Structure 1
Amino acid sequence: MDKVKKDGIKGSFLKYLFVCFVVCVIGNWLIYGVFDYLQKWYVSRYIVLPIPDFFSLDDIRLWESIPDDMWLYDVLRYGRYITVSLWSIFCIWFTVKKFYAAEVKKPIDTLMAASDRILHDDLDFEICTECKNEIGRLCVSFENMRKNLYASNYELWKSLEERKRLNSAFSHDLRTPITVLKGYTELVKKFDGRISPEKQADILSKMSIQVERLEHYTEKMSSVHKLEDIIPEEEAVAYEELCGSFDEVGKLVCGDEFFSMSAKEASGAVICNDRELIMQVFENMVSNAERYRKSVVKCIAEIEDDSLRVTVTDDGNGFSEEALRKAWQPFYRDENENEAEHFGLGLYICRLLCRKCGGELYISNAENGGGKVTAEFSVKKSESR
């Protein structure tokens, strides 16, 4: 049968017909032999007239010299032709049935089942067939079409997921700059016109810087199709200036009495990296610490081995064992997380941006309890990394 399946439908059908012909001829010979034997047996038992070899019983009957009770002989005589016809029809029917079952039915059923699943948007299956004829090759073509359709749908789904992740990250990262701007606004309202012109100009200048950062970040996020497409824009930033920005943003997010900043001395140090991305990572770290703190959030900055290391700790409950393993995953939220505004993207974005800036992000629990997040950034130009 395997040899038959390697041929086309026409060749296979001819082989089936050949087998049918052989079986049909042999069967007809046997039928003729059986009926001839029964007729001779009947004649030898019931016919007493001597019949010459060159006469048949039918010729003798013409003389009306034998008994009229010849119905069994007639049944055997005409039954032979009827049986031969029925046997031939049966052989043809059986051959067509076997041919259809072996060469046509299986692949047709496979194609019908596959088309039904595709119609219901189910592409996660495989079209398999053992037939090697034209319909079998049609199944192979159908399988290739399914694979291409599956790959196309997967790419489309992946693109939509990336866009969803990018939009969620954009929404997530907008919260901290807006919080900083709200902090400056509340500071102005708190003093109700009692701020000196110099202080007022300073606050307006800082608010302008935040608005500019927000504008640049919006343009950068709008120009990429996924987070992995972000390209750092390097600039030289003084270490002391960057630490001052850390202290200012930390106090605005957490409050003066809940945030403390310390920076190890590195006089004249300059950091060549994307200041905007570094600040975005820091703001995410501080926002997460603010969410889980009990009383205080601490930040330590230092430059060591051509890397800027920024560590933010809080005095909360710290990371669970599961969070230490899965906190990097996008949209991960601890089972005890009840905040609807928490997207579960903070650490994922921080780690991605750190790597874009030639560094890495580490999470752990502090020795005295609470969470500890350390971000590293390269301080050298990208050509020397």
Structure 2
Amino acid sequence: MSIKLRLLLSYIGLLVIPIILLVIVSFFARFYYIGDFQKEYPGVDTIHKAKQVVAERDAIFSTIKQTALISPQSFEDEDFLFYYEDKLNGFNSGLIVRKNNEIIYSPLRMTNIIEENPLPQFGEYVYEQSYPLDTTIKGLQIYQHDFFFDDSSKGSVFMITNVEPMMRSMQNFINMLMISTVVILILTNGTLTYLVAGSIVKPLNKLKTSANRIREGDLDFEININSKDEIGELSNAFEEMRKRLKESLDTQFQYEENRKELFTNISHDLKTPITTIKGYVEGIKDGVADTPHKIEKYINTIYTKTVDVDRLIDDLFLFSKLDLSKLPLHLNRINISKYMVDLLEELNFDLEKKNVMMNYENQVASSTFVLVDVMQLKRVIVNVIENAVKFMDKSEGIINFIVNQKDDYILFEIRDNGQGISKDKLPYIFDRFYRADPSRNSLIGGSGLGLAIAKKIIEEHSGEMWAESIEGLGTSIFFTIKISKSGDTL
């Protein structure tokens, strides 16, 4: 759920939830206050019942008013007054009769009311309605009807209803609703704010902690925030950034380790021939080579080692360019079948001198073209073949060169019958300066960069190179080159 939708729902909840809760509270509170109200007004348990009771009370007062018109002298009859007083008592009401300015009838329970509240004067309220307008004095509801006694004296009959319990219950009900409203709003707002803010703040705090750890260089952890919103997307972006930073630092560390290893290997491979050269030069200087034959032998050895050093430097220079992808490729579109025939014919001459037989098998259509740097492709093939010859342990060596067409690329296989490579060493043969012989025996020569350079060149041609080997039977080196169509580029 998105943060926007979450906030919208929380706003709706802030409106709807308090209303629902107030309705529920009002529903149950009504029963409590009606019970309190019934102590003063027995039998009144619903609004409809209250209206019915009021109507009955008003009907009694209407009868009293009619009596005042027909038989005003009845208001001086105590039995008549007691009769209606008894009926009004159930409505928490009572009658007061005034003749001129003298109270001639008043129930005992109304005495304090008369003393504390002055009654309206004669003629102040004259209404013909069956439900006369009322006035409330300190919780009293007063109904007045004026008439004349038979002796022409001014008379007034009052029906007084004590509404203070009703007002008190209503005020308590209103106060309870106001307090409930405040409490409900505080609880609802606090709860929703805690839930919504918690779902936002907690993940943000995790992101803040993660950012601080990244800032301090600690990348060995995982940012895991299970949230399907904007914060979840942000955390995924942070996690991706952390992974890339870690990969970058790991790669940098590996480069640094490789650089150290490279310097070590270069130092070792340069020191061996230089030490040899130095030894032979000292031999000549010290007169150890005291015959023309020895001097010639020493000079030839010095020359051979110098050539090895020069070749090592050339290979290092080439590999560094390949490693930095700064070696320019001079691409040409060539017919691969014709190219292979010419190249292998040239190489076969040298292989015969080393008692190695070359077998060539071409399964590529004669009209197939590839886009390659001719000199660099030759370097790849020469490096692989020289490596095969170098480690040949058979008296009659055989190298099978097979070219196949696979979909949109050419698959080259150079297979020898040499000593093979063990499974634990096979994954490392394309590493720079790697030699299968852990003692780094340099008797067979070489810089240890031949296969590493070959693989880099093939990768620069958007191809792949790998090896398969069976120890004791031989090794196969595979590499691919894309087939070229007219107008193709790498």
Query: Common fold, TM-score beyond 0.5?
Result: yes
Offset from partner CA, 1:41-79 (integer Å, 9 cap, x none): 22246xx77523979897369xxx9xxxx9x99996775
Is 1:365 aligned with 2:470?
yes
Distance in 1, matches of 2:455 and 2:470, equals 21
Which structure has greater strand proportion? 2
Equivalent residues in 2 for 1:167-182, closer than 5 Å = 168=261, 171-172=264-265, 175=268, 179=272
Work out which of the residue numbers 211, 226, 251 in structure 2 matches 1:158: 251
Offset from partner CA, 1:14-57 (integer Å, 9 cap, x none): 41232144225424533652343022222246xx7752397989
Alpha-carbon distance, 1:150 to partner: 3.5
Q: Is the 8 A contact 1:301 1:311 kept in 2?
A: yes
Work out which of the residue numbers 167, 185, 193 in structure 2 matches 1:100: 193
Alpha-carbon distance, 1:92 to partner: 1.0
Equivalent residues in 2 for 1:322-333, closer than 5 Å = none
Offset from partner CA, 1:330-351 (integer Å, 9 cap, x none): 69x9xxx996989xx9998487
Alpha-carbon distance, 1:129 to partner: 2.4
| Helix, strand or coil at the partner of 1:43 | coil
Alpha-carbon distance, 1:100 to partner: 2.1
Distance in 2, matches of 1:171 and 1:37, equals 98
Equivalent residues in 2 for 1:21-100, closer than 5 Å = 21-27=18-24, 29-30=26-27, 33-44=30-41, 50-52=91-93, 59=139, 80-100=173-193
Is 1:115 aligned with 2:223?
no
Work out which of the residue numbers 269, 283, 300 in structure 1 matches 2:397: 300
- The structure-2 alpha-carbon separation of the partners of 1:212 and 1:303, relative to structure 1 and needing over 3 Å to count, comes to farther
Alpha-carbon distance, 1:297 to partner: 8.2
Distance in 1, matches of 2:349 and 2:386, equals 16
Distance in 1, matches of 2:479 and 2:16, equals 80
Q: Is the 8 A contact 2:355 2:397 kept in 1?
A: yes
Q: Across the two proteins, how many residue pairs are aligned to each other?
A: 325
What corresponds to 1:207 in structure 2?
305
| Helix, strand or coil at the partner of 1:87 | helix
Identity of aligned residues (%): 9
Which structure has greater helix proportion? 1
What corresponds to 2:319 in structure 1?
221
| Helix, strand or coil at the partner of 2:93 | coil
- The structure-2 alpha-carbon separation of the partners of 1:81 and 1:31, relative to structure 1 and needing over 3 Å to count, comes to farther
- The structure-2 alpha-carbon separation of the partners of 1:374 and 1:49, relative to structure 1 and needing over 3 Å to count, comes to closer
Q: Is the 8 A contact 2:377 2:457 kept in 1?
A: no
* Structure 2 unaligned spans of 5+: 43-88, 95-133, 142-159, 214-218, 332-342, 360-373, 404-411, 442-447, 486-490
What corresponds to 2:67 in structure 1?
none
Equivalent residues in 2 for 1:4-19, closer than 5 Å = 7=5, 9=7, 11-19=8-16
Alpha-carbon distance, 1:156 to partner: 4.8
Distance in 2, matches of 1:116 and 1:340, equals 50
- The structure-2 alpha-carbon separation of the partners of 1:329 and 1:164, relative to structure 1 and needing over 3 Å to count, comes to same
Distance in 2, matches of 1:173 and 1:279, equals 23
Q: Is the 8 A contact 2:385 2:414 kept in 1?
A: no
- The structure-2 alpha-carbon separation of the partners of 1:50 and 1:124, relative to structure 1 and needing over 3 Å to count, comes to closer
Amino acid in structure 2 at the alignment position of 1:239: L
Distance in 2, matches of 1:139 and 1:91, equals 32
Work out which of the residue numbers 422, 425, 448 in structure 2 matches 1:319: 422
Distance in 1, matches of 2:321 and 2:311, equals 15
Q: Is the 8 A contact 1:310 1:375 kept in 2?
A: yes
Alpha-carbon distance, 1:280 to partner: 6.6
Distance in 1, matches of 2:279 and 2:415, equals 28
Distance in 1, matches of 2:454 and 2:233, equals 44
Q: Which structure's CA Rg is the greater one?
A: 2
Distance in 2, matches of 1:354 and 1:225, equals 10
- The structure-2 alpha-carbon separation of the partners of 1:302 and 1:312, relative to structure 1 and needing over 3 Å to count, comes to closer
Alpha-carbon distance, 1:112 to partner: 1.4
Distance in 2, matches of 1:338 and 1:213, equals 21
Aligned Cα root-mean-square deviation (Å):
5.8
Q: Is the 8 A contact 1:319 1:364 kept in 2?
A: yes
Distance in 2, matches of 1:373 and 1:277, equals 16
Amino acid in structure 1 at the alignment position of 2:469: S
Amino acid in structure 1 at the alignment position of 2:243: Y
* Structure 1 unaligned spans of 5+: 131-135, 248-260, 291-295
What corresponds to 1:262 in structure 2?
355
Distance in 1, matches of 2:239 and 2:13, equals 33
Alpha-carbon distance, 1:264 to partner: 2.8
Amino acid in structure 2 at the alignment position of 1:300: G
What corresponds to 1:133 in structure 2?
none
Q: Is the 8 A contact 2:37 2:169 kept in 1?
A: no
Offset from partner CA, 1:309-352 (integer Å, 9 cap, x none): 5747449xx625x666x567969x9xxx996989xx99984873
| Helix, strand or coil at the partner of 1:264 | strand
Q: Larger RCO: Structure 1 or Structure 2 (Cα < 8 Å, ≥ 6 residues apart)? A: 1
| Helix, strand or coil at the partner of 1:216 | helix
Q: Which moved more, 1:87-96 or 1:161-170?
A: 161-170
